[in-house]
């Protein structure tokens, strides 16, 4: 062929090779963790590019934007060609790009602002108040109503009625009020050109459903479509992909039903199960070799997931040679737990491991707080994937609001936040100012009028005038980094010192933000990336020091698709992992077990399952906890028990653990 031959047979097994080199048509790969699904997709991309498919006509959908970037750079190495033109990223990322181009057809301005989840919640809350439904007077907590509404908005294609009766029966009687909230919310977003994450997807779908020409154009453009982590797509995402693929049906999806862990966002593995109905001639591949983990870890992972009733049976064999059994580490309490992890990390470093070899994966963010403190005390560098979402920290949001009003002067939430930052201006006043500004034909001009300033008490006016002058000057600047510098210098630095503790660290964050922003020529591109980064804070958009030099702390949800030689899983007590909330219903417990399965299958060589026995609650009382049922339901032979000396994480059974790469055999 013109492209010349390319031989991947040394890098892939027979099935992977078949996936990578298939000519086209629908393909479904269902296979367990670590079986090389992502690798097969990566090689398929390489194969397509090598065989002359125009990169701009390939669409790769991944769980994080970072995953797409990593796959594409691997492809560049494999085929020695640039891959920048490939459309790669999350559904939201692709939706954003497409809506900036075609959104006007739906009345969406090309400068729309993306609302992150927290902003969306704020806006919804204000709609609940405005709708005047007497929620708080009744038994219905504000929060519950918000949860019900966002569950409806989250991507299921179900009616409000269905959502409420299935999942929130207590609100069925409130349906009229809730509908009112939804109308308000939709209207506010429309007026202010705001799109929340769910809107990005539903607008993309609507665009294709209502505009045949756009649908045709997109379906023609994307000649090949590849989707990783297909088990966590929801109905809307499934429908989007089906429309895009309708023309050529060159669609490769890979996934693992046992790793489906996003049902709280409306995802489920329905799309996998029904794939064969929608694509009757789809080729189906199974990958049955696990390349990632030593057999001892894989055996435990398999035994655990076998407890789930709802799953597709899989036969996954380890290929690596025997290594260490997963260790169960009983700890007196959660302080001992974090001390154990910290000391053991230091021990591993002594033994020649690097920080980047190690991850701590937990069920919930707050499980990591003690561990963070302990690492800090011992100067162990760590990086939190997820957790404090960088851009959702208060000081980040403050700064971002300045940029948001630059881009979209109709952005009410941003204006209110900025106004409230002024001395002597509270909620009521800031709302009054905003109402005045937004009523005028040209809101931005109105910011600078004497009339606007006169709405404020005399004592607040000078501050307001400085603020208005700052906005005026910032509007003259295109570069988001320069705007951030200006804001910091002219006003925010003082605000930081007087309003937050840890001002100097926060200032570092802001400088980091400015650094990151300097890659962008304009505010719009910058804000779009920032908003999407908040979606998964696993995304390391801020150019921080190299991740090589850190232990990774992450929720299990954000560790999907990744792997580390050594993994610690803390808080394996009933009520923590599985979490209390998941222990009542069978489906929820099964989902929770899939979360555990994802955690366990991230480990390549060593796995530490940590079981704190006592918990000190807020009142200072000691509460006994039971070991997690995810451990007690397994046969004891699958693990070995490590013992710690009384209270101290000094290892008795563990010092002689073999730290040679277990690939070498024992
Ligand atoms: P997950 O379900 O966790 O996303 P996956 O099925 O996508 O896992 P990969 O991440 O692609 O699996 O592969 C797991 C590990 O096995 C990686 O380190 C990968 O490089 C390695 N691997 C996959 N296939 C092969 C192969 N044919 N030969 C050698 N190593 C392989
Ligand atoms: Mg993968």
Q: Range with the lowest mean pLDDT among 27-31, 107-111, 370-374, 401-405? A: 370-374
Q: How remote is the CA of residue 13 from the centroid of ligand 1, in Å?
A: 11
Of 658, 634, 598, residue with least CA distance to 293: 598
| Nearby residues for ligand 2 (ion, Cβ within 5 Å) | 37-38, 561
Residue 48 has pLDDT above 60, yes or no: yes
Confidence of residue 647 (pLDDT cuts 50, 70, 90): very low
Q: How remote is the CA of residue 240 from the centroid of ligand 2, in Å?
A: 21
What percent of the chain lies above the pLDDT cut of 70?
Answer: 89
- For residues 578-587, average pLDDT: 85
* Beta-carbon contacts of residue 581 (< 8 Å; ≥ 6 apart): 588
Bridge partners for 98 per DSSP: none
Q: Range with the lowest mean pLDDT among 447-461, 502-516, 605-619? A: 502-516
Distance between CA atoms of 633 and 353, rounded to whole angstroms?
A: 32
Distance between CA atoms of 432 and 452, rounded to whole angstroms?
A: 10
Residue 394 is assigned to a ligand binding site: no
What is the number of residues in the chain? 666
* Beta-carbon contacts of residue 360 (< 8 Å; ≥ 6 apart): 341, 368, 371, 551, 552, 553, 554, 567, 568, 569, 570
Quick one: pLDDT at residue 490?
A: 93
Residue 37 is assigned to a ligand binding site: yes
309-335 residue pLDDT tens: 998 888 899 999 999 999 999 999 888
Given a contact cutoff of 8 angstroms between Cβ atoms, the answer to whether 408 and 193 are in contact is yes
Q: How remote is the CA of residue 184 from the centroid of ligand 2, in Å?
A: 40
584 vs 508 pLDDT, higher one: 584
Q: How remote is the CA of residue 16 from the centroid of ligand 2, in Å?
A: 13
246-294 residue pLDDT tens: 999 999 999 999 999 988 777 778 899 999 999 999 999 999 999 999 9
Distance between CA atoms of 585 and 279, rounded to whole angstroms?
A: 33
Residue 386 is assigned to a ligand binding site: no
Residue 2 is assigned to a ligand binding site: no
Q: How remote is the CA of residue 158 from the centroid of ligand 2, in Å?
A: 29
Whether the pTM exceeds 0.95: the reply is: no
Quick one: pLDDT at residue 533?
A: 62
Residue 112: DSSP 8-state: P
Residue 609 has pLDDT above 70, yes or no: yes
Confidence of residue 120 (pLDDT cuts 50, 70, 90): confident
Residue 32 is assigned to a ligand binding site: yes
Residue 1 has pLDDT above 60, yes or no: no
- For residues 291-315, average pLDDT: 95
Give CA separation, 405 vs 166, 351, 415, in Å.
40, 53, 7
Quick one: pLDDT at residue 580?
A: 83
**Alpha-carbon dihedral of residues 534, 538, 540, 542, nearest 10 degrees?**
40
Give me the phi and psi of 591, to 5 degrees please: -65, -40
CA-based radius of gyration for the chain? 26
Residue 49 has pLDDT above 80, yes or no: yes
Residue 134 has pLDDT above 70, yes or no: no
Bridge partners for 252 per DSSP: 27, 226
Quick one: pLDDT at residue 633?
A: 97
Q: Range with the lowest mean pLDDT among 4-18, 210-224, 636-650? A: 636-650
Contacts 24+ apart (CB under 8 A), 589-594: 590/308, 590/309, 590/310, 591/260, 591/261, 591/263, 593/304, 593/305, 593/307, 593/308, 593/630, 594/258, 594/259, 594/260, 594/261, 594/305, 594/308
Quick one: pLDDT at residue 514?
A: 84
Quick one: pLDDT at residue 392?
A: 67
138 vs 493 pLDDT, higher one: 493
Residue 127 has pLDDT above 90, yes or no: no
Quick one: pLDDT at residue 511?
A: 79
Quick one: pLDDT at residue 4?
A: 65
- For residues 522-533, average pLDDT: 83
Q: How remote is the CA of residue 45 from the centroid of ligand 2, in Å?
A: 14
Give CA separation, 612 vs 167, 339, 487, 624, in Å.
33, 12, 47, 9
Name the closest-CA residue to atom 24, ligand 1.
Answer: 36
Residue 647 is assigned to a ligand binding site: no
564-575 residue pLDDT tens: 999 999 999 999
Name the closest-CA residue to atom 21, ligand 1.
Answer: 291
Quick one: pLDDT at residue 620?
A: 61
Q: Range with the lowest mean pLDDT among 27-36, 57-66, 151-160, 493-502? A: 151-160
Query: What is the pairing mode between strands 224-227 and 640-641?
Result: unpaired
The answer to whether the Cα torsion of 567, 552, 348, 374 is positive or negative is: negative
643 vs 545 pLDDT, higher one: 643
* Cβ < 6 A, ligand 1 pocket: 12-13, 16, 31, 33-39, 256, 259, 291-292, 561, 563, 601
Distance between CA atoms of 514 and 601, rounded to whole angstroms?
A: 37
Quick one: pLDDT at residue 659?
A: 33
161 vs 277 pLDDT, higher one: 277
Quick one: pLDDT at residue 541?
A: 38
What percent of the chain lies above the pLDDT cut of 90?
Answer: 56
Residue 578 has pLDDT above 50, yes or no: yes
Distance between CA atoms of 430 and 407, rounded to whole angstroms?
A: 20
Please tell me the number of the ligand nearest to residue 594's CA.
1
Residue 544 has pLDDT above 50, yes or no: no
- For residues 543-561, average pLDDT: 77
- For residues 211-225, average pLDDT: 95
- For residues 441-459, average pLDDT: 88
- For residues 579-604, average pLDDT: 92
- For residues 358-375, average pLDDT: 84
Residue 228 has pLDDT above 90, yes or no: yes
Mean model confidence pLDDT for the chain: 86
Confidence of residue 531 (pLDDT cuts 50, 70, 90): confident
The answer to whether the Cα torsion of 417, 422, 427, 430 is positive or negative is: negative
Q: Which residue has the tokens 């991944």?
A: 62
Q: Which atom of ligand 1 is nearest to the CA of 42?
A: 11
Confidence of residue 496 (pLDDT cuts 50, 70, 90): confident
Quick one: pLDDT at residue 155?
A: 58
Bridge partners for 552 per DSSP: 359, 383
Please tell me the number of the ligand nearest to residue 290's CA.
1
């Amino acid at each position: 062929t013109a492209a010349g031959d390319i031989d991947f047979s040394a890098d892939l097994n027979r099935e992977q090779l078949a996936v990578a080199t298939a000519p086209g048509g629908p393909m479904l790969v269902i296979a367990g963790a670590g079986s090389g699904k992502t690798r097969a997709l990566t090689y398929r991309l390489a194969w397509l590019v090598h065989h002359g498919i125009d990169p701009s006509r390939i669409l790769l959908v991944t769980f994080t934007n970072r995953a797409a970037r990593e796959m594409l750079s691997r492809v560049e190495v494999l085929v020695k060609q640039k891959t920048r033109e490939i459309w790669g990223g999350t559904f939201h990322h692709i939706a954003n790009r497409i809506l900036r181009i075609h959104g006007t057809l739906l009345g969406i301005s090309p400068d729309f602002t993306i609302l992150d989840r927290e902003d969306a919640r704020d806006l919804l809350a204000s709609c609940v108040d405005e709708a005047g439904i007497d929620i708080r007077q009744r038994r219905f907590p504000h929060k519950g109503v918000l949860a019900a509404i966002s569950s409806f908005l989250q991507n299921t294609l179900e009616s409000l009625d269905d959502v409420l009766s299935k999942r929130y029966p207590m609100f069925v009687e409130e349906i009229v009020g809730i509908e009112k909230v939804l109308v308000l919310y939709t209207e506010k977003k429309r007026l202010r050109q705001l799109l929340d994450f769910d809107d990005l997807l539903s607008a993309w779908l609507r665009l294709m459903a209502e505009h045949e020409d756009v649908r045709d154009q997109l379906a023609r453009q994307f000649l090949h479509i590849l989707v990783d982590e297909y088990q966590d797509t929801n109905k809307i995402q499934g429908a989007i992909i089906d429309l895009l693929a309708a023309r050529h049906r060159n669609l490769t999806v890979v996934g693992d039903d046992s790793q489906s862990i996003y049902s709280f966002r409306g995802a489920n593995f329905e799309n996998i199960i029904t794939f064969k109905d929608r694509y009757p001639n789809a080729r189906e591949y199974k990958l049955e070799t696990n390349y990632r983990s030593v057999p001892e870890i894989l055996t435990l992972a398999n035994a655990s997931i076998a407890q789930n009733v709802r799953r597709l049976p899989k036969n996954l064999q380890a290929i690596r040679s025997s290594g260490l059994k997963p260790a169960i580490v009983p700890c007196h309490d959660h302080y001992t737990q974090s001390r154990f992890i910290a000391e053991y990390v230091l021990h591993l470093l002594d033994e020649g491991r690097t920080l980047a070899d190690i991850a701590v994966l937990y069920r919930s963010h707050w499980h990591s707080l003690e561990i963070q403190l302990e690492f800090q005390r011992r100067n162990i560098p760590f990086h939190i994937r997820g957790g404090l979402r960088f851009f959702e920290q208060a000081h980040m949001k403050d700064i971002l609001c300045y940029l948001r009003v630059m881009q979209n002067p109709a952005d009410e939430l941003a204006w209110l936040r900025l106004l409230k930052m002024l001395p002597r201006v509270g909620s009521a006043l800031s709302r009054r100012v905003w109402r005045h500004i937004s009523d005028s034909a040209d809101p931005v001009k109105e910011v600078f009028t004497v009339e606007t300033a006169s709405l404020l008490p005399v004592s607040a006016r000078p501050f307001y005038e400085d603020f208005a002058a700052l906005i005026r000057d910032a509007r003259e600047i295109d570069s988001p980094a320069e705007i951030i510098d200006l804001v910091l210098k002219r006003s925010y630095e003082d605000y930081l010192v007087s309003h937050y503790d840890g001002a100097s660290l926060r200032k570092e964050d802001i400088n980091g933000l400015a650094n990151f922003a300097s890659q962008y020529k304009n505010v719009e591109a910058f804000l779009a990336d920032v908003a999407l980064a908040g979606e998964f804070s696993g995304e390391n958009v801020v150019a921080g020091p190299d991740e090589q030099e850190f232990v990774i702390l992450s929720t299990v949800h954000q560790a999907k698709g990744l792997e580390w030689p050594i993994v610690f899983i803390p808080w394996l007590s009933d009520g923590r992992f599985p979490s209390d909330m998941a222990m009542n219903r069978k489906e929820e417990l099964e989902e929770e077990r899939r979360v555990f399965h994802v955690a366990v299958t991230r480990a390549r060589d060593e796995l530490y399952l940590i079981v704190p026995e006592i918990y000190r609650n807020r009142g200072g009382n000691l509460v006994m906890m039971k070991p997690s049922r995810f451990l007690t339901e397994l046969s004891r032979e699958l693990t070995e028990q490590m013992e710690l000396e009384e209270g101290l994480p000094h290892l008795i059974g563990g010092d002689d653990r073999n730290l040679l790469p277990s690939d070498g055999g024992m």
